[in-house]
A and B are shown apart, each in its own frame.
Chain A
Amino acid sequence: MVNTALARRSSPVNLRLIFGVILGLLVLSFTLGTGAPAAHAASDVCVADSATGCFNGTIKGVGAGVKITIDGNGENVVVETDKSGKWNAAVTTAGTYTITLDEKTLPSGVTLKGDAVQTRDITLGFTKGAIFAVNGGDSGSADGGSTPTDTASQGFNWDRLAQQVVSGLRLGLLLALASIGLSLIYGTTGLSSFSHAEQVTLGGLLGYTFANVLGLNIFLTIFIVMVITGATGYVQDAVIWRPLRKKGLSLTQMIIVTIGLALALQYTFQMIWGAKTIRIMKNNPETFTIGPVTLTYESVWAMGLAVIVLILVGLFLLKTRTGRATRAVSDNPALAAASGIDVDRIIRLVWVIATALAGLSGVCLGLVLNGINWQTGMQLLLLMFAAVTLGGLGTAFGALVGSLIIGMTVELANFVVPGDFKYATALVLLIIILLVRPQGIFGRKERIG
C-alpha cells in the first residue's frame, strides 16, 4: 500500500520523546483539572461496574445547570443536569445516600413538586434512579432547527421543510470543515484518524474558554483557536505520527493508536472542562426570521465563514504550488516523492490544516448547536466518516459534497425518525453507501497486484 513506501524510509527517531510528551500532557491536564470546578454532569459519565454504582434521573424541562448533591458513606458528589435535564453521579461505596436538589439552581418559574431531599440505597454495579418532579418546566431552545427531539413529532409541513433544509445546509458546511481534514489526512497518509473528532471537540472547548471565560471577541477567539489547534496538529505529526511512520507501524496499528489517543483526549477534556454541555457566547442567542426559517445571527455568519474558508481551501488546493503538491501526494506518494516533492513537509502541512479546520468547525458547532461537550466530536465522527466515504476516501472535494449530502439527509431524516436516532440514521446511510458504492462518488478503487 502507498504509505508503506513512505513508512519504510526509516530514520531512527527518538520514540521515548513521545512517551515524555504524553506524560507531560497528562501531568499538565492533571494540574489544570484540579483547578476546574468539581461539578460535573453528563449522561454518559457514570458506568456501573464492579467498583461503581450510579444514581441518575431526568428532570423534565429544566435544562442544564440544576445542581444535585449525593451524600453519604464518606462520599460527596455534586453534579449538574445537562441540557435535556439529565443527570447522573457515580459512587464507589455501596450503601444509603441522600440525594439533594439545590432549588436555587432551578430556572426561574420552575418549582419543585415533591421533596428536595430523597434517600436511596445502592449496590455496586447497579444504577438507581431518583425522580424530582417539577412544575412549569419548559425546554425553551432558541434555535429552531437544532432541537430535533422537540420537532420530530410535529409531522410534515412546508415551513418545517425549509427550516430543516437550512439546518441541513448548516450542519453540512460545518461538517465539511471537519471532514475535509479527515479526508486530506487519509489521502496523504492512508490513515483513518479516529482522533480527528477530538480535534473538533478541542476547538469548541477552547472557543468556550476564550470567548466565555476570558471574554475575548469571537473573531479573535476563532483566530486564536485555529492557531492553537493547528499547532496541535503540527506537534502531533512531529511527535507521534511522523516517528510512527518512520518506525514502519502498520496502518492497523496506527488506527488503534488514534483510537487510544481519542479515548485519552476525551477524558482529558472531561478533566479540564468537566462533563457539562456548554454553549459558546450566549445561552439565549438572538434570532431572526426570514419567511419560515428562524436562525440565530451566529448561525448565519458561521455558515458564511465556513463557505469562505472552504473556498479558500479549494483555491489553495487548486491554484497554489503547495496545494497541487498536496494533491499529487494524495494521488501517489511514491511518484510525488520521486518527482521532488517533500512528502513529509506536505504531510506536516496537511496535519496543520486539518486540525485548524477541525478547530474552526468545533467553534462554529459550539456557536450554533445547543452546545458541545467532551464527547461531541465522538458523536460527529460517524457523520464525518459517512461524508468522507460518500465523497470518496481521500478526495477533498468529495468530502465537501459528501458532507453537504450527509448534513442535509440527517436533518431531513427528522421528519421520519426522532432526533435521538440521528446517529442511527447516519449509520444506515453509511451502510447503504458501502453496499452500493463503496468507493464513493469521486473515489476510485485501489490497485491490486
Chain B
Amino acid sequence: MSNATQKTATEARAELKSVPHTPGAPKPDAILVVDNIVRDFGGNRAVDVDHVEVQRGVITALIGPNGAGKTTFFNLITGFDQPSSAKKVFGGPSADKAAKWSFNGKLLGNTSAASVAKSGMVRTFQLTKALSRLTVMQNMLLGAKDQRGESFLAAFVKPLWAAQEKANIEKAEDLLKRFKLYEKKDDLAGSLSGGQKKLLEMARALMSDPVMIMLDEPMAGVNPALTQSLLGHIQSLRDEGTTVLFVEHDMHMVRHISDWVVVMAEGRVVAEGPADTVMSDQAVIDAYLGAHHDTDLGDDSLLEEGAMDAPKKEKK
C-alpha cells in the first residue's frame, strides 16, 4: 500500500484489469475504503453503501441519476456530514455494522472536515464556494497547506512568513495560468462567471498538492474548449500520481478520461467497471431509465436526445 509513490499511473491502471466488475469489488491498491455508510434524511435513505474501494493513482468517475446520493456520499467521507450509521456511545449499530472508512490507511470516522483535507483528501463543491470578497489570488493562497503565517503570533511578524508566501504566490500564478484565470488574479472572486468560479475552485484545491482530489461536477458550466484542456489537466494530475474521484453527468467526459466508473442509484452502488462495460450494464440502464429499457447508455443518439439529463428519479 505504501509503495504508491513509486508506482506509475500506467501500472495502477493495469492493476484494474484484474478487478471483477461487481459492486464493491476489492482493488489491488485501494486508497479509499468505505464500509457500511448510511445516511438518512427523515425517512429518505440518501446513501446506503455497503462497501466500495477506490484504486490509487487512477481516475475514478462516480455517476448516477440526480438524487442518487453522490454529493451526500462526498459530504460523508470528507467530514462535512455524519453518517446515520456512525458508531454511537449509546445504542447505534453494532461494531461490524457501523460506518467505517479509511483513507491512505488512516481511519477517518470521527475526523473533522478540516483534518480530512489536511490528510490529503481535498474536495470541491457542486455549488461553487468561491470566497466572493477576496481576490482570485487570495482565494488561491488560502488553498496552500501548512502556512506559517496562519498561526496567530507569527502573523504579526512578516519576515517569518514572507518567503513561504512568495513561493505560494508563484505556485498560484502557475496554476492560474493553466486554468486561464491569470488575468483575473486581482479581481474579486465574486465577479467571476459561474464557470470561472468552478475553475477557481479546482485550482484552489490543487494548491495543497492533494493526494486525492474529489471533484463534484467539475465541468458543469465550463465551455467545451476549456473542458478539453481541463480533461488534459486532470489526466496529467493522475500521471503525476494524484488520485482523482469525480462526479459527472456528461457521459462523453466520463468515457473519455475515467479509468474506472462507479455507479450509484438510490444511495447504493449498483455497478462498477471500466466505462465501456458499465454503460451497457443492465442495472445501470435500469437506474437511469427505469427498468425494461434495452439501450446502451454509451449510445450517442441517446445523449443527443437529452435523455441522460432529463430523467429525474422520483423522490418524494
Q: Are A and B physically bound partners?
A: yes
Residues of A within 8 A of B (CB): 444-445, 448-449
Minimum distance in angstroms from A235 CB to a CB of chain B? 33
Interface mask (B86-127 → A, CB under 8 Å = 1, otherwise 0): 000000000000000000000000000000000000000111
The reply to whether A444 and B71 form a contact with Cβ atoms under 8 Å apart is no
Please tell me if B81 contacts chain A, counting CB pairs below 8 Å. yes
**A contact face: mostly helix, strand, loop, or mixed:** loop
Point out the residues of chain B lying under 8 angstroms from A448, CB to CB.
75, 80-81, 125
CB < 8 Å: which of B71, B81, B126, B127 contacts A445? B81
Residue of A nearest to B71 (CB): A449
Minimum distance in angstroms from B71 CB to a CB of chain A? 5
A448 to B75 Cα, complex, angstroms: 7
A444 to B84 Cα, complex, angstroms: 12
The reply to whether B126 and A449 form a contact with Cβ atoms under 8 Å apart is yes
A392 to B296 Cα, complex, angstroms: 46
**B contact face: mostly helix, strand, loop, or mixed:** loop
The reply to whether A449 and B41 form a contact with Cβ atoms under 8 Å apart is no
A445 to B75 Cα, complex, angstroms: 13
A449 to B129 Cα, complex, angstroms: 8
Please tell me if B42 contacts chain A, counting CB pairs below 8 Å. yes
Please tell me if B216 contacts chain A, counting CB pairs below 8 Å. yes
Residue of A nearest to B125 (CB): A449
The reply to whether A449 and B216 form a contact with Cβ atoms under 8 Å apart is yes
Minimum distance in angstroms from A326 CB to a CB of chain B? 19
The reply to whether A449 and B127 form a contact with Cβ atoms under 8 Å apart is yes
Of A444, A445, A448, chain B has the most CB atoms within 10 Å of the CB of: A448
Minimum distance in angstroms from A111 CB to a CB of chain B? 64
Residue of A nearest to B82 (CB): A445
Please tell me if B74 contacts chain A, counting CB pairs below 8 Å. yes
Residue of B nearest to A448 (CB): B80
The reply to whether B42 and A444 form a contact with Cβ atoms under 8 Å apart is yes
Q: Which are the 5 A-B pairs with shortest beta-carbon distances? A: A449-B125, A448-B80, A449-B71, A449-B75, A448-B75
A445 to B83 Cα, complex, angstroms: 12
Point out the residues of chain B lying under 8 angstroms from A449, CB to CB.
71, 74-75, 80, 125-127, 216
Residue of A nearest to B74 (CB): A449
Minimum distance in angstroms from A171 CB to a CB of chain B? 31
CB < 8 Å: which of B41, B75, B80, B125 contacts A444? B41
Minimum distance in angstroms from B258 CB to a CB of chain A? 21
A380 to B219 Cα, complex, angstroms: 50
Interface mask (B39-60 → A, CB under 8 Å = 1, otherwise 0): 0011000000000000000000
Point out the residues of chain B lying under 8 angstroms from A445, CB to CB.
81
Residue of A nearest to B123 (CB): A449
A445 to B125 Cα, complex, angstroms: 18
Minimum distance in angstroms from B114 CB to a CB of chain A? 14
Point out the residues of chain A lying under 8 angstroms from B127, CB to CB.
449
Minimum distance in angstroms from A401 CB to a CB of chain B? 17
A445 to B76 Cα, complex, angstroms: 13
Point out the residues of chain B lying under 8 angstroms from A444, CB to CB.
41-42
Subset of 6 A-B contacts with CB under 8 Å: A444-B42, A448-B75, A448-B81, A448-B125, A449-B125, A449-B216
A449 to B125 Cα, complex, angstroms: 5
Point out the residues of chain A lying under 8 angstroms from B81, CB to CB.
445, 448
A46 to B71 Cα, complex, angstroms: 56
Minimum distance in angstroms from A379 CB to a CB of chain B? 36
A444 to B126 Cα, complex, angstroms: 21
Minimum distance in angstroms from A223 CB to a CB of chain B? 39
Point out the residues of chain A lying under 8 angstroms from B216, CB to CB.
449
A448 to B79 Cα, complex, angstroms: 11
Minimum distance in angstroms from A72 CB to a CB of chain B? 53
A449 to B214 Cα, complex, angstroms: 13
Minimum distance in angstroms from A157 CB to a CB of chain B? 35
Minimum distance in angstroms from A341 CB to a CB of chain B? 17
Minimum distance in angstroms from B316 CB to a CB of chain A? 11
Residue of B nearest to A445 (CB): B81
Interface mask (B200-217 → A, CB under 8 Å = 1, otherwise 0): 000000000000000010
A86 to B126 Cα, complex, angstroms: 59
Minimum distance in angstroms from B68 CB to a CB of chain A? 14
Of A444, A445, A448, A449, chain B has the most CB atoms within 10 Å of the CB of: A449
Residue of A nearest to B42 (CB): A444
Minimum distance in angstroms from A333 CB to a CB of chain B? 16
A449 to B41 Cα, complex, angstroms: 15
Point out the residues of chain A lying under 8 angstroms from B126, CB to CB.
449
Point out the residues of chain A lying under 8 angstroms from B75, CB to CB.
448-449
A448 to B126 Cα, complex, angstroms: 10
Interface mask (B2-42 → A, CB under 8 Å = 1, otherwise 0): 00000000000000000000000000000000000000011
Chain B positions 126-141 with a Cβ under 8 Å from a chain A Cβ: 126-127
A448 to B76 Cα, complex, angstroms: 10
Point out the residues of chain A lying under 8 angstroms from B125, CB to CB.
448-449
Residue of A nearest to B81 (CB): A448
Minimum distance in angstroms from B267 CB to a CB of chain A? 15
A445 to B81 Cα, complex, angstroms: 9
Point out the residues of chain A lying under 8 angstroms from B42, CB to CB.
444
A444 to B42 Cα, complex, angstroms: 8
A158 to B81 Cα, complex, angstroms: 46
Point out the residues of chain A lying under 8 angstroms from B71, CB to CB.
449
Minimum distance in angstroms from A208 CB to a CB of chain B? 44
Point out the residues of chain A lying under 8 angstroms from B80, CB to CB.
448-449
Chain B positions 264-288 with a Cβ under 8 Å from a chain A Cβ: none
A449 to B77 Cα, complex, angstroms: 13
A445 to B216 Cα, complex, angstroms: 20
Minimum distance in angstroms from A224 CB to a CB of chain B? 42
A256 to B305 Cα, complex, angstroms: 50
Minimum distance in angstroms from A166 CB to a CB of chain B? 34
A449 to B216 Cα, complex, angstroms: 9
A231 to B74 Cα, complex, angstroms: 47
Residue of A nearest to B126 (CB): A449
A448 to B71 Cα, complex, angstroms: 9
Sample of 12 more A-B contacts, CB < 8 Å, known A448-B75, A449-B125: A444-B41, A444-B42, A445-B81, A448-B80, A448-B81, A448-B125, A449-B71, A449-B75, A449-B80, A449-B126, A449-B127, A449-B216
A340 to B71 Cα, complex, angstroms: 27
A449 to B76 Cα, complex, angstroms: 11
A6 to B42 Cα, complex, angstroms: 25
A444 to B40 Cα, complex, angstroms: 11
Residue of B nearest to A449 (CB): B125
